[in-house]
Amino acid sequence: MPEIKSVENRIFNISGPDDFNELALEIFQFQYKNCIVYRDFVDFLKTPVSQISHYSQIPFLPVEFFKNKKITSGDFKADEIFTSSGTSGMQTSKHYVKKIGLYELSFIKTFEHFFGLPNNYGILALLPSYLERAGSSLVYMADKLIELSNRTESGFYLNELEEIHTLLLSLKQKKQKVILLGVTYALLDLAEQFPIHYPELILMETGGMKGNRQELVRNELHGILKNAFGVSQVYSEYGMTELMSQAYSKGNGVFESPTWMKILIRDINDPLSLLSTGKTGGINIIDLANIYSCSFIATQDLGMVNPNSSFEILGRFDNSDIRGCNLMMA
């Protein structure tokens, strides 16, 4: 196997399915060798490691492991430790990031792929629940994109809804390209208190009510936001503390991922079996940028993959649904 450094340099230049598979297998072998928790998990499943020839055969580590184990491939001092949000008393995930430059490269290249250069936009980040705590990977990403936008109007907002409204009115008059990235409940607050007809606005929700509002189904949520802002589509960002990469939706809840990230669907009744396209199940994610933690993660999200490799998020497991995953955590 080549040095992992050479793999690191190839992640963001994947040329096709065979290249992805080759890199996935190399990273799997590296992580099996160097991540003790992942190796123990793979061995517990009695996986024939030497016989794995395709990424679909690789075991996926339940994301819950990040809450009570240190998931690192190798022993290193982390550049950053990202933590998940959670209500009081809830155990949160930790992601030990060996090289913050890898994370920056991942989210910048992904942003440029879907939207172009950050300096084409004013970027407004309405992320109150994230700004009020330390260790948010989303805040880190937004902060860097705001810096790269190099616009005076770009910045973070906590609860200054009237200020955002005034700014949006001004930017609309200037015909400025604007991305308003917001946690879902804060965007709903803005929609109710300060609606504005701004069809050119890229309105992007990051998901989650964070205990501040009753959860809404996507169509209802997006309908409210479309009406309030006069936009034809609501964009979405899909990421998590345990990942180095993100997927984006430009409308209708259909997400696309960068070339180094792949979504597979597992059977909720048999978590070790994968389902074909168009079928609903648990979302497994391969994120090759997760070199120094674990690139193969079984999430608590429900979804399905479309024939063109785009995917949809359809909900989350409840406590009874994830029992099958928990059995794998013995």
> What is the rounded average pLDDT of the residues 195-221?
80
- Residue 86 confidence (pLDDT): 65
Structure tokens, 150: 């190099």
pLDDT in tens, 270-289: 999 999 999 999 999 999 99
- Residue 152 confidence (pLDDT): 93
Closest residue by Cα to residue 303 from 222, 243, 238: 238
Q: How confident is the model at residue 303 (pLDDT cuts 50, 70, 90)?
A: very high
Tokens 């990051």 belong to residue: 206
- Residue 163 confidence (pLDDT): 94
pLDDT in tens, 56-110: 999 999 999 999 999 999 999 999 999 987 655 578 899 999 999 999 999 999 9
> What is the rounded average pLDDT of the residues 176-189?
94
Handedness of CA 62, 257, 129, 189 (dihedral sign): negative
Neighbours of 314 (CB within 10 A): 15
Report whether pLDDT(209) > 80: no
- Residue 9 confidence (pLDDT): 84
pLDDT in tens, 313-329: 998 876 533 433 333 33
Neighbours of 199 (CB within 10 A): 10
What value does the mean pLDDT of the chain take? 90
- Residue 213 confidence (pLDDT): 53
Contact at 8 Å (CB) between 292 and 73? yes
Determine whether 249 is exposed, middle or buried from the number of CB atoms within 10 Å of its CB (0-12, 13-18, 19+): buried
- Residue 139 confidence (pLDDT): 93
- Residue 328 confidence (pLDDT): 36
What's CA 230's distance to the chain center, in Å? Answer: 27
Report whether pLDDT(129) > 80: no
pLDDT in tens, 235-263: 999 999 999 999 999 999 999 999 999 99
Amino acid type, 168: L
Structure tokens, 181: 């990235």
- Residue 89 confidence (pLDDT): 56
> What is the distance between the alpha carbons of residues 291 and 286, in angstroms, rounded to a whole number?
11
